[in-house]
A and B are shown apart, each in its own frame.
Chain A
């Protein structure tokens, strides 16, 4: 590393400490002992490996050929040959393609709907002193303490004729009171002078929400959108009790059948029986499809998590 010093300074200006450089240690703080750092590092690395290794195995197996999988005796840890056969088969029509589309559709529609309803409600409750906001707040909070129970809800959804419609996957859980309160907590933190000045300039509540509050709340809105989206994407229970038509099932439900009953999705039987494709690879590929959007999106929103969680959870 000494060579670095001899090199001319980069034209970008003075070197800033990188994200991976340790900040200077205060003089009073004793440097960590070798053994202590090693133990700490080991625990953290182990914890990260406990998360990453299973995911690695799943992804690599889904990308392996039938021969590699057979040789490895089921699951592959060291990739030998990379092939996308499983994905090609799954996404070239048939049950899994349809289920993935259903999941995407339900997630996008549901998240949009939930966000609109929650943001509106949160803003409506965020101006203190408005008529009835305590009563409405109570109406919301009671549902956090006392749920109606599975059976009456099930019967209601049936009575409303929502069975075997996608509305049954969206409407019953569309409002998360927790998420709404998180949004409200954040909106309440926006300085009231700002909102008042917008009002004096002639902006109504809709305009204030859209042009003042929303742009200032991008962080928390990103977090709550992710929470809702993950909720819709991961949901399988409502589909399992409200949908009877196998054609309508979302991805998670297809995954359950695939893994628990070892059923090969309709449309893939030929390829698997013909021996071109490993059943294990198919399973793993469906798992990757199920985890991919979440795994890709959540790190982007990560830096806002703490802020979002705290404004709601603590101020509530």
Chain B
């Protein structure tokens, strides 16, 4: 390809300088980007430079992405292939090596999936997953918005920074820590129960109460992440053009009307986007959080799809069965995410990826 003559002046080969002042210094693609051209136009233009030259030109960039791509291929793509064991009766002891064990395990077709769909424990996990998801949607979702409105109304920068620092903090604590804190405060030996007993009332143990569990889980989530969730709303509020408020005030709008007609519409796209994304992620409700409390409340109240897979696969070593359940969850989850993104696009938002 080297003998091909590239369009445009001064091809890199003829430049005597030590550093490769290549095509990229005379940026076909870059100029395109500044103009904000669509992807198709970019490809059309760049396509005029032969592939070999472009590869050589961009070899450093490609090399730089290599470690990340390799890690993702090994730890994210290879295991996707490993899902074939869902169609097998996988026996890790057939062979010393996972791959040969997979090759030597008998194929059973859809038998594992039939087992999964006939298992009341699986459907119970599905039910718990959805109950927790809806509770979180209803109880958790509005809180960061309300908090953001409150924090945004704090005018003193110092006070605001302190409040934000405090509210962000729990997001950075591990689930182990959060649950331990809750245990110490609300548990049977916790400070509130102790206090009640000392005053002659009956103590209680919220941490092991299956009835209260779903609310407890939601509340833990609020404690840990509601403060963090306000960041994106604060950013949306900061982007509001303040002249709008002034103009509205001139027209006689009071503070509530300004909030209703300016602030909330400014938040609308973010709210819609987050809501859509949350729905797309409905099947994933706090794996670590629930796993940590599984022993205390028992699987009846705490089993969700993720913990179900963990229990059957890692604990009971029923690998094929767990892989089948995991695959069902993965596929339904994928459909939900794609549908959610589609909805986001239809609403004119960007979603996780662009169209």
Q: Of residues B80, B85, B250, which shows the largest number of chain A Cβ atoms within 10 Å of its Cβ?
A: B80
Q: Are the CB atoms of A131 and B326 closer together than 8 Å? A: no
Neighbouring B residues of A196 by C-beta, 8 Å: 25, 27, 30
Interface string of A280-316 (1 = CB under 8 A from B): 0001100100110011001100110110011001101
Neighbouring B residues of A12 by C-beta, 8 Å: none
A21 within 8 A of B: yes
**Residues of A in contact, count (CB < 8 Å):** 112
Shortest Cβ gap from A214 to chain B (Å): 13
Q: Which of B118-126, B132-140, B209-217, B229-237 contacts A (4 or more CB under 8 A)?
A: B229-237
Contacts A121-B64, A156-B79, A159-B98 hold; do A302 and B161 have CB atoms under 8 A apart?
yes
Q: Tell me the chain A residues, 188-239 only, with Cβ under 8 Å from chain B.
A: 192, 196, 199-206, 209, 226, 230, 233-237
A117 within 8 A of B: yes
A117 CA to B58 CA, complexed, in Å? 18
From B32, B98, B151, B231, A128 is in contact (CB under 8 Å) with: B32
Q: Are the CB atoms of A73 and B30 closer together than 8 Å? A: no
Interface string of B253-277 (1 = CB under 8 A from A): 0110000000000000000000000
Interface string of A137-160 (1 = CB under 8 A from B): 001110111111111111110110
A277 within 8 A of B: no
Shortest Cβ gap from A130 to chain B (Å): 4
Neighbouring A residues of B83 by C-beta, 8 Å: 148-149, 152
Determine the residue in chain A with the shortest Cβ distance to B99: A159
Determine the residue in chain B with the shortest Cβ distance to A150: B309
Q: Are the CB atoms of B313 and A51 closer together than 8 Å? A: no
Neighbouring B residues of A5 by C-beta, 8 Å: none
The bracket for how many chain B residues form the interface is 35 or more
Q: Are the CB atoms of B167 and A154 closer together than 8 Å? A: no
B241 within 8 A of A: no
B157 within 8 A of A: yes
A233 CA to B174 CA, complexed, in Å? 8
Contacts A129-B28, A309-B235 hold; do A57 and B185 have CB atoms under 8 A apart?
yes
Q: Tell me the chain A residues, 40-74 only, with Cβ under 8 Å from chain B.
A: 40, 43-44, 47-48, 50-52, 54-55, 57-58, 73-74
Q: Is the interface of B mostly helix, strand, loop or mixed?
A: helix
Neighbouring A residues of B30 by C-beta, 8 Å: 127-129, 192, 196
Neighbouring A residues of B61 by C-beta, 8 Å: 123-125, 127, 130-131, 133, 205
From A121, A145, A158, A255, B68 is in contact (CB under 8 Å) with: A121
A6 within 8 A of B: no
- 7 A-B pairs besides A51-B223, A136-B69, A199-B21 with CB distance below 8 A are A58-B184, A134-B39, A148-B76, A199-B24, A203-B19, A298-B165, A303-B161
Which chain A residues have a beta carbon within 8 Å of chain B's beta carbons? 18-23, 25-26, 28-30, 40, 43-44, 47-48, 50-52, 54-55, 57-58, 73-75, 77, 116-118, 120-121, 123-125, 127-134, 136, 139-141, 143-156, 158-159, 171-175, 177, 180, 192, 196, 199-206, 209, 226, 230, 233-237, 241, 252, 255-256, 259-260, 283-284, 287, 290-291, 294-295, 298-299, 302-303, 305-306, 309-310, 313-314, 316
* 17 A–B contacts, CB within 8 A, in A order: A19-B161, A20-B156, A30-B255, A44-B150, A48-B163, A116-B67, A129-B29, A134-B39, A143-B77, A148-B76, A149-B323, A156-B75, A192-B34, A199-B25, A203-B19, A255-B176, A260-B296
A-B interface, 7 closest residue pairs, ranked by CB to CB distance from nearest = A129-B29, A159-B98, A152-B82, A234-B174, A148-B79, A19-B158, A202-B19
